[in-house]
Structure 1
Amino acid sequence: MLEALRKIVQEVNSAKDLKAALGIIVLRIKEKMSVQVCSVYLHDEETGRYVLMATEGLNKRAIGKVSLDSDEGLIGLVGTRQEPLNLSNASDHPQYRYFAETGEERYSSFLGTPIIHNGEVLGVLVVQQRERREFSEEEVSFIVTMGTQLAGVIAHAEASGSMSSSKRTPQEVRFVGVVGAPGAVVGQAVVVLPPADLDAVPDRKTKEIQIELDLFADAIESVKKNIQKTSTKLAKQLRPDELALFDAYILMLEDVALIGDIEKTIRDGQWAQGAIREVVVKYTQRFEAMDDPYLKERAADIKDLGRRLLAQLQKQDHENTDYPDKTILVSEEISPSMLSEIPEGKLVGIVSVLGSSNSHVAILSRAMGIPAVMGVAELPYRKMDGLKVALNGFFGEVITNPTDELCEYYENMAEEEKQLLASLSILRDLPCVTLDGHRISLWVNTGLQADVDKAQQRGAEGIGLYRTEVPFMMSSSFPSEKEQMAIYREQLAAFHPNPVTMRTLDVGGDKSLPYFPIKEENPFLGWRGIRVTLDHPEIFILQIRAMLKASEGLDNLKILLPMISSIGEVEHALRMINRAWYEIKEEGIEVPMPPVGVMIEVPSAVFLTRTLAKEVDFVSVGSNDLTQYLLAVDRNNARVADLYNYYHPAVLHSLYKTVKDCHAEGKPASICGEMAGDPVIAVLLMAMGFDSLSMSSTNIPKVKSMLRQITLAKAKEILDEVLKQDDPQVIKSIINLELSALGLQRAITTTKKIMN
């Protein structure tokens, strides 16, 4: 069953449009299950009806004509119940609906399953048989699995506007990823391909048929020359039978059927790269299905040849990419080099199928002020080139074919955000002081020098978190002590005399170094943060030495230890910090021992706060990781994104306990992460007693504006009420109502989700 499923999915994925994909599915399911009928009914949002869109076994003239209301017949019942329906005699069911056009009166057994994507019913997949019987559990499992596969196909077709079989206008489709960089924007998708990856090549229609044919012909000649050159070079090293492989490749490049099919696909309007992908995949599937071992192996040769041709075309195409004025860059995995190739001023958004909020490109996006959404796993990016796309970087959403109303809304939101930041610029040099005189420090999270420049423009009073792993991620090897010292000095000098908190190298989890790979089944609970650097004292001590040397004459350095879960880790790290301090002192460099702090970001550290605070000079809560660990929710997983909620009572009570325990030992407590930059929840954090909040530079003016318009006493009243609640939504509603009553609706609105 699994092998059959794999082959069907592979064939469907290579279909040119939805109509072809549906035809393949109903035919293959009918054959595999040995049933008389397989049909697909799709839900049309414009009419609210289920329409017969594909069938094998019923009268095909009924396709596109037969339809049912959303609650009509057995099809409507399956859609309404959103679960499979298995009947031995369908006509006995009170909701059975007969259509003479289909000829289905001959069929008794009925098995239907809903086609659901992101909670929305897109249609119903049905199989029928003449004899009366209930379908087996294995058959039900197979049809349900095919329904889930079909859901992705339909959603992708709607997103790319290839619903050619339904004659509908392209549908607005929403895909959920994770936040990479905040902001809202509407632009045109430009798909950038991974090098020589056939599966990643998008469909792209072209009217320049002859140009594409010429490019393909040039690619064939170039690949031929390269193969002949390689064959000549290796002639003395290989046996004649081994050299014959190169001759086989030349013959394939001259094969009338293979090359002719690619040329025909180009003449049908597909660009050369897409034509190669389409034909090579088709030929590969044919050879892989053969029983003869020798012929089956030829599938790999065809695929390799396809990659060679593709690489040559990409080399030609690379210099000719046209970037529109509002380019939204889309790729499976975006690299910094891709960003650098776009003309200045044209890039307005970034969408990546892979990656996380902490990936290199996400960090660069935030520094550049460009909205980004990462980890959009279900995005049909291969079919998106040239499409209009709306990007919601505040909440990790990508909308293809957005309506005019949504585009206008997003553009208004972007303009309002711009105006809001401009209006708050007057707060830049003012302290963050509440109406009743309470002072709280607002610091910035940085990783690049670009972050520092923007932070200073927005009134940051220091750096609460400098991510030292960013320079490591941008290097091809571990930076030397001298290289690190220069980078750290730049950060320390930029904010002198204000404090700069440098977190020691924090890799692992979703942050990896190409030259220091960490591969684990569960990386977030694995070898990461302080665990890595304590196991590699040569990395840790060198980094501490670089920090200390960089602080000479400035004395504004603070050192922060990440991912602390036990007192033993702190004691071990402190011994190595002292060792590094004594080493540079012996070298004649006089710097005071800087304050050292720990990050509270795992549950065990919450309960050890008092013990940890006794050993260090300050405590900093990493709200992003602490929230994900407390709630057992991977914050980079779009499927459980709705469960990641820092209004959760467990999160708030843990934060409150941490602050109280830290202050009980006479040590200051700060917090960094998404929570600190949310103006609404910043009210609670201030009330809890946090001495400083550290956030992205964009959020500093918003948080400052909010806190300057409220009293500490009122904030504590709201906190007392909130801590009595057990539901995150109730907590959020209470805060919003209280702040609205104070006339702070505008500040609340800027934190709300952008919706159409």
Structure 2
Amino acid sequence: MLNSLRSIVQEVNAARDLASALNIIVQRVKAVMATEVCSAYLRDGKGQYVLMATDGLNANAVGHVSLALGEGLVGYVAQREEPINLELATAHPKYQYFEATGEERYSSFLGVPIIHQRQVLGVLVLQQVERRRFDEGEEAFMVTMSAQLAGVIAHAEATGVLKAMGQNAQEARFKGVAGSPGVAIGKVVVMSPAADLRGVPFHPCEDVDKELVFFHQCLELARQDIKSLGKQLEKRLNAQERALFDAYLSMLDDASLGGEVTERIRAGVSAAYAWSEVILEHERNFSSMTDTYLRERAADVRDLGRRVLAYLQESNQQCRVFPEHAVLVGEELTASMLGEVPKDRLAGLVSVQGSSNSHVAILARAMGVPTVMGAVDLPFTQISDRDIIVDGYRGMLYTDPSATLRKHYEAICAEEQELVRGLEALRDLPCETLDRHRVPLWVNTGLMADVVRSLERGAEGVGLYRTEIPFLLRDRFPSEEEQRLIYREQLEAFAPHTVTMRTLDVGGDKSLSYFPIEEENPFLGWRGIRVTLDHPEIFLAQVRAMLKASEGLHNMRIMLPMVSSVSELEAAKTLIYRAFHELLEEGFHLELPPIGVMIEVPAAVYQARELAARSDFLSVGSNDLTQYLLAVDRNNPRVADLYQPFHPAVLRALHQVVRDGHSQGVSVGICGELAGDPAAAVLLMAMGYDVLSMNATNLPKVKKVIRSISLEQAEQLLDEVMAQEDEASINRCLERSLGSGLTRLVGISLESEASS
């Protein structure tokens, strides 16, 4: 059964469209289950479950028979969201006969819901003339099959909405996760890593003859590479291994892969897209084979595909021109991809992978670029050069928007611009409540580009300087002197304001190419302070660079990430003291900077009192703390909805940390993304946080909300919020208390839902 399941899923993955995928499903499942009918019903835009494919019922009924939720046995399966297994279907009170299907002969019935992201997409049905109840193993297989196929069907269904690859295009709507607030209206630019076969965007071919010449030139370059490689390794390989290079060359012939690609180019598709389609189809075919030797040839096909694709993409990369309002779309966007786009042309970002707390989303918020993450059903390779609307408030995307929808979002953009102009006037005003309670607003930075933006928006200090960024931008560890120059530049730019420098924080979703950390569960593995304590030579060089950079300025604090015990804090402090005294002996005139701890793991929450007694300050990293408290990978779009910063458990932990820190007489700040949420900022202020540190983009919004409320009102709101039992109730409470006038600013919701 397992081999059959794997084989069917692979075949469905290889299908060119939704209709083909459904036909494969019903035919293959019918054969594996040795039954007489297999049918697939899918939910349409009106909530009806329509017969979309069948092997056994009347084929003319496809597309014409539909049932509402709860109607008939199929609608009943969808309503119950669980299988229904009947020996005699006609005896069930929900049975409904449809003459068009010709199903009157069939007695047995097994219906299984197809569920994707808590939504019933459809129902998979088996029927048989003979009266029998499908056994537990058969039912379990069908449940497993529907679970495996749900994502594939959802993606194929979404792809099918975008008809004719840009011809007769119609508006399509896709759901993701809000990554950075705002609205962007622009043109799609598909971004993908070099030679990524699954990320090649669709482009039509305007000049077939020219494209064919280009394709064969690239094939010839790849042939030369393979011949050269074969000669280099000739003396080190046996005859059987050398034959692999001959096989590669033969695959490039017009009678093989080259011929298939030529046909697709002649049909009007670009060479790169045609090549990727052909290679992926052959890779899937090899992967589905039962013979081990043949199955392993899939890797050879993939390797060959990448070699040729690199040549096909090279000229395209060199002549890439970004439109005036470019919306970057990719499977997994990176910081380097953002750097390719001229600043004045970047309008929005869309990433298929990741969540609102992925680092690219954090960077987007710092840049003020509307972003949607985790758009898992978006067929991103097929929307290149299409018009798109990015709704970063609700995590919605609209391709080929109608004139009505575009007008609606243009009005929102105009309102945003008006709001920004109003916020700019607050720059030089203090961040204080109506009853004069002062709240310092600091910023999170990592690049020199952040400095000007931060100071322009009234930042009073730096609550988090991400020192790992200079490490991430190099192909080796930066030297002590290189680090000193970078840190000095930051400290001088913000002087006399305080700059909080976090020591190297790598691991998890931040990896260095020259210092790889391969782990099955990186977020619970070797990261943060654990890495630097295991490599004191790296830690000492960084601390020495920080201390040297602070000479004469005295505006630096050192912050330690991912501390989970008092012993880790003591070990790190010992190394800092050592570096400090060494530099004094070398003649530097230094003051020992304040040393603080980031509260990011539950263990630190429950030891906040002890950590505070041994520190000069505490600072909560709410992104990781929320992730660990809720056991939710913040980069995983499958569980993005479960990452809830306003979860009661998170708010109680935040409240406990500030109480325990203050009990030891130390300052307690927060530097996670939560601090930049205007509604959360009100609660954090009421809890007693001494410093709120955020991305520069959100600073004016937070100041606006704090200046519109009194501390007494904020404390009353906190009391009401802390009495709630779930995040939905907390959000309603915040929206009601802060007033509709601040709804857009706070980012809880839009005033009206856009129609599609």
- What is the TM-score of this pair, normalised by structure 1? 0.92
1:45 counterpart residue number: 45
Aligned to 2:95: 96
Q: Secondary structure at the match of 1:675?
A: helix
Q: 1:753 aligns with which of 743, 746, 749?
A: 749
* C-alpha separation in 2, matches of 1:302 and 1:58: 39
- What is the aligned partner in structure 2 of residue 584 from structure 1? 583
CA distance in 2, matches of 1:243, 1:406: 59
Letter in 2 for 1:90: A
Structure 1, residues 56-103: CA drift from partner, whole Å, max 9, x if none? 112212222223334322221122222222111222222222222222
Q: Which amino acid aligns with 2:19?
A: K
Aligned alpha-carbon RMSD (Å) = 2.9
Is residue 353–residue 637 contact of structure 2 (8 Å, CA) maintained in 1? no
C-alpha change, 1:518 and 1:405, in structure 2 (3 Å) is farther
CA distance in 1, matches of 2:169, 2:55: 26
Per the alignment, residue 440 of structure 1 pairs with 439
SS in 1 for 2:673: coil
When residues 168 and 108 of structure 1 are mapped into structure 2, their CA distance, relative to the original with a 3 A threshold, is farther
Asked if 2 retains the 8 angstrom alpha-carbon contact of 1:155 and 1:173, the reply is: no
Distance in 2 of aligned mates of 1:482 and 1:80: 66
| Mapped partners of 1:487, 1:534: distance in 2 | 23
1:394 positional shift: 4.6
Q: Residues 578-606 of structure 1: CA distance to partner in whole angstroms, max 9, x if unpaired?
A: 11111111111101111111122222322
The aligned amino acid for 2:146 is G
| Cα displacement string for residues 143-168 of structure 1 (whole angstroms, at most 9, x for unaligned residues) | 22332344323332343345769x99
CA deviation vs aligned residue, 1:608-636 (integer Å, no higher than 9, x gap): 23322222222222222222323333333
Q: Note the C-alpha offset of 1:177.
A: 4.2
Could you say which residue in structure 2 is the equivalent of 1:491? 490
Distance in 1 separating the partners of 2:516 and 2:193 = 21
Q: Are residue 703 (structure 1) and residue 702 (structure 2) matched?
A: yes
With over 3 angstroms needed to count, the CA separation of the structure-2 counterparts of 1:421 and 1:54, relative to structure 1, is same
Tell me the amino acid that sits aligned with residue 466 of structure 1: Y
Residues 1:416 and 1:187: Cα distance change in structure 2 (over 3 Å): same
SS at match of 1:188: strand
The 5-angstrom pairing of residues 171-190 of structure 1 reads: 172-177=172-177, 179=179, 181-190=180-189
The CA distance in 2 between the partners of 1:151 and 1:697, in whole Å, is 41
Taking the TM superposition and a 5 Å limit, the aligned residue runs for 1:197-346 are: 197-234=196-233, 242-254=241-253, 256-286=255-285, 299-346=298-345
Superimposed CA distance per residue, residues 511-560 of structure 1 (whole angstroms, 9 cap, x where no aligned partner): 22222222333322322222221222111111111111111111111111
526-535 or 541-550, larger mean C-alpha shift: 526-535
**Matching of residues 66-105 of structure 1 within 5 Å:** 66-105=65-104
C-alpha contact 1:202 1:274 (8 A) present in aligned 2: yes
Q: CA deviation at 1:16?
A: 1.6
Which whole-Å CA distance do the structure 2 matches of 1:240 and 1:646 have between them?
61
Cα distance in 2 for partners of 1:442, 1:598 equals 19
Q: Residues 512 and 4 (structure 1 numbering): CA distance in 2 closer, same or farther, change over 3 Å?
A: same
Indicate the SS of the match to 1:20. helix
Asked if the contact 1:14–1:278 (Cα under 8 Å) also holds between the matched residues in 2, the reply is no
1:158-201 per-position Cα deviation (integer Å, ceiling 9, x unaligned): 43345769x9985744333473x443323333223333333443
The residue aligned with 2:504 is 505
Structure 1 residues 363 and 227: alpha-carbon distance in aligned structure 2, compared to 1, 3 A threshold: same
User: What is the match of residue 369 of structure 2?
Assistant: 370
Cα distance, 1:400 vs. partner?
4.9
Q: In structure 2, what residue type is equivalent to 1:590?
A: H
Partner-residue secondary structure (3-state), 1:45: coil
Partner of 2:194: 195
What corresponds to 1:352 in structure 2? Answer: 351
Secondary structure, counterpart of 1:427 in structure 2: coil
In the TM superposition, 1:363-402 aligns within 5 A as: 364-394=363-393, 396-400=395-399
Q: CA–CA distance in 1 between the matches of 2:556 and 2:282?
A: 62
Q: CA 1:736 to 1:133, structure 2 compared with 1: closer, same or farther past 3 Å? A: same
Report the CA distance between 1:3 and its aligned residue. Answer: 1.8
600-609 vs 240-249, which deviates more? 240-249
Aligned with 1:563: secondary structure?
coil
The alpha-carbon distance between structure 1 residues 301 and 91, as it changes in their structure 2 partners (threshold 3 A), is same
Give the aligned residue type for 1:544. Answer: V
In structure 1, C-alpha distance between the alignment counterparts of 2:208 and 2:510, rounded to whole Å: 44
The Cα of 1:307 is off from its aligned counterpart by: 3.1
Are the structure 2 counterparts of residues 660 and 418 from structure 1 closer, same or farther at C-alpha, using a change threshold of 3 Å?
same
Contact 1:112 1:125 in 2 (8 A): yes
Return 328-337 or 100-109, whichever deviates more. Answer: 328-337
Alignment partner, residue 569 of structure 2 = 570
Tell me how far 1:484 sits from its aligned partner. 0.9
**SS of match in other structure, 2:624:** helix
Q: Is it true that 1:657 corresponds to 2:656 in the alignment?
A: yes
Letter matched to residue 276 of structure 1: W
- Equivalent residue, structure 1, for 2:11: 11
1:606 aligns with 2:605: yes
- 1:381: how far off? 2.7
Match of 1:670 in 2: 669
2:321 and 2:642 map into 1 onto residues whose CA distance is 40
Cα-to-partner distance string for 1:620-658 (whole Å, 9 max, x where unaligned): 222222223233333333333333333333333332332
Number of the residue aligned with 1:27: 27
Residue matched to 1:534:
533
Distance 2:680 2:340 in 1: 39
Cα distance in 2 between the residues matched to 1:271 and 1:25: 30
Question: Alpha-carbon deviation of 1:432?
Answer: 1.3
Query: Please, which runs of 5 or more residues in structure 1 have no aligned partner?
Result: none
CA 745–579 in structure 1, closer or farther in 2 if over 3 Å, else same: same
Report % sequence identity. Answer: 55
1:508 Cα deviation after fit: 2.0
Code of the residue aligned with 2:468 in structure 1: it is: E
SS in 2 for 1:435: coil
1:97 and 1:169, CA in 2 relative to 1: closer, same or farther beyond 3 A? farther
Letter in 1 for 2:436: G
Larger deviation, residues 459-468 vs 198-207: 198-207
Q: CA–CA distance in 1 between the matches of 2:437 and 2:519?
A: 46
Q: Which amino acid in the other structure matches residue 741 of structure 2?
A: Q
SS at 1:116 equivalent: strand
Instruction: Provide the rounded CA distance (Å) in 2 between the counterparts of 1:543 and 1:250.
Output: 51
2:674 aligned counterpart, secondary structure: coil
Alignment CA distance shift 1:355-1:95 (3 Å): closer
Quick one: distance in 2 between partners of 1:44 and 1:721? 42
The one-letter code matched in structure 2 to 1:583 is E
Q: 1:258 to 1:692 in 2, by over 3 A?
A: closer
Higher mean alpha-carbon deviation, 310-319 vs 6-15, is at 310-319
Within 1, Cα distance between the matches of 2:361 and 2:296?
A: 41
Q: Which residue of 1 aligns with 2:110?
A: 111
Contact 1:200 1:382 in 2 (8 A): yes
The DSSP-based 3-state class of the residue aligned with 1:35 is coil
Match of 1:738 in 2: 737
Would the aligned equivalents of 1:161 and 1:171 in 2 still touch at CA under 8 Å? no
| 1:262 positional shift | 2.6
When structure 1 is superposed on structure 2, of 679-688 and 478-487 the one drifting more is 679-688
TM superposition shift of 1:297: 5.8
Q: CA 1:283–1:93 in structure 2 vs 1: closer, same or farther (change >3 Å)? A: same
Q: Distance in 2 between matches of 1:344 and 1:628?
A: 32
Query: Deviation of residue 561 (structure 1)?
Result: 1.5
Q: Which moved more, 1:494-503 or 1:221-230?
A: 221-230
* Matched positions, count: 750
Displacement of 1:134 after TM fit? 1.4
